[in-house]
Structure 1
């Protein structure tokens, strides 16, 4: 069963477009899939089906400025004016809607890349409502984030928040193909498979190649800074089960260093976190043909283990 839903965004402007996928069996839990920067939730369809096959209802939406939500509202790359918590609050609204539809089921989050940042922000505010979280392709100290915030704050103060200066994106993320050899598209850092790169670049619902407003890019940087260090980790409930996964050739996680930074912040604040780093793989470990089944099975195993405790 598939439910298509729409709800008013925290930014008080957009109508967020979402979906609830229900398996044809008695569900044992719910997992909300939270997509990353410049993409959309249906890039996770293989994972969504695997979660359904494992007995989980799956909820997902396209963030403001992204995917079908951007198309519906004509707001590509513009996240509105309500601040960097907008997407996190939208994800919480989606959870409330799904809980009303299917009450009294354990609720998990899976977030990839920016989706992992949103998941971490969510856990710091609403973690008591969750059974567990999986963060995938996350970041520790993101290279250049502090400098980017300073420059973007200045641009917004000058009244250029709704403009899109590509130099800011280049300064923030232009280094991310440094280990990719020959670069022709600019997204090679996501996966070494050229078919995944091509699919990502040519997807009409993908905003990665579309301009992002300076203000929205500022929100993106502020989102990363808000989930940094033990100050963030101490806000996450200490008994929340956490599964932290990624590839050791992922620049977002500084090639493994950032992944362990996050796990260590959590351990230092009394959390029990399971960490799995896949050697030789870039950012989208769930899109490698030879790895995605293993990655998805690991997430299902983590969620099942929480339910069986």
Structure 2
């Protein structure tokens, strides 16, 4: 196992806890934007695979998530988290100015990554979106309630591998409580901004599970179709659920991701 190095980076709303994985001679930078309620530590396997492809990997815990400060899973404006991604990019590229940057975002982190890419395309060599919250999201229906009901994420929706769900439930850094109203409003605002924003002109890969119940592929496609550019690629995996990097076919998924990034960096 490749051990991560812990870093702290001053973000827009507080000090971010950041994990770094690296090889001796990195050839590119991977920034990972994790999903709602989780944390960067759940991407250990992903980081190891990327390091094998000569990546220097940086993955923050978004504010209010994991080991970063703030009220749990609470933010009032997604732009603050997007600004944190830019702070991280500047920090890592200041240390490695000659390395291209690839942004990888999952679920809510995919939403943040898509919006970041719209605002900072010139800084990215490629973008990977895994099960991204784009277009519409049924969870936003919770805003219709006077009091947000406690509807925790069902672990069986994450992967066909039962061990993934068990680890998720037992992870003390994962948020297992209810959604926050302010956060849901911020997600809604961000989705609207993405829908009205520019197309993605950089090489972009969208990967999604066909049986993703948490973020249905059909809902995401309504957003993807608004922002896809000429260098857009997609893989929809039959029978796969939400967390493709933790799925039973994760090696296939990672091979597709690494091949895409390799082509993008060599183009």
Q: How high is the TM-score relative to the length of structure 1? A: 0.78
Superposed displacement of residue 212, structure 1: 4.3
Q: Is the 8 A contact 2:78 2:112 kept in 1?
A: no
Cα distance in structure 2, aligned partners of 1:202 and 1:237: 38
> Who is 1:186 aligned against?
154
> Who is 2:96 aligned against?
102
Unaligned 5+ runs, structure 2? none
2:174 to 186, 206, 209: 206
Q: Is the 8 A contact 1:148 1:221 kept in 2?
A: no
Cα distance in structure 2, aligned partners of 1:260 and 1:147: 18
> Who is 1:20 aligned against?
20
1:61-210 pair list within 5 angstroms: 61-69=60-68, 73=69, 75-79=71-75, 81=76, 83-144=77-138, 147-148=141-142, 151=144, 165-167=147-149, 170=151, 186-207=154-175, 209-210=176-177
> Who is 1:247 aligned against?
209
Cα distance in structure 2, aligned partners of 1:252 and 1:210: 16
Superposed displacement of residue 206, structure 1: 0.6
Change (3 A) 1:96 1:280: same
1:286 aligns with 2:245: yes
Cα distance in structure 2, aligned partners of 1:202 and 1:218: 28
> Who is 2:33 aligned against?
34
Q: Is the 8 A contact 2:102 2:126 kept in 1?
A: yes
1:55 aligns with 2:51: no
Superposed displacement of residue 211, structure 1: 4.0
1:264 to 186, 202, 225: 225
Change (3 A) 1:102 1:2: farther
Tell me the alpha carbon deviations over residues 171-202 of structure 1, each in whole angstroms, 9 at most, x when there is no partner. xxx8xxxxxxxxxx833212232211111111
Q: Is the 8 A contact 1:138 1:252 kept in 2?
A: no
Q: Is the 8 A contact 1:16 1:64 kept in 2?
A: yes
Cα distance in structure 2, aligned partners of 1:68 and 1:302: 31
Superposed displacement of residue 147, structure 1: 5.0
Cα distance in structure 2, aligned partners of 1:89 and 1:74: 16
Give secondary structure in 2 for the equivalent of 1:78: coil
> Who is 1:4 aligned against?
6
Q: Which has the larger radius of gyration?
A: 1
Change (3 A) 1:237 1:137: closer
Change (3 A) 1:266 1:221: closer
> Who is 2:260 aligned against?
302
Tell me the alpha carbon deviations over residues 226-279 of structure 1, each in whole angstroms, 9 at most, x when there is no partner. 323xx33xx2452x000000101112442x323443443234xx4320010000
Tell me how large the CA RMSD over aligned residues is: 2.3
Q: Is the 8 A contact 1:263 1:273 kept in 2?
A: no
Change (3 A) 1:74 1:10: closer
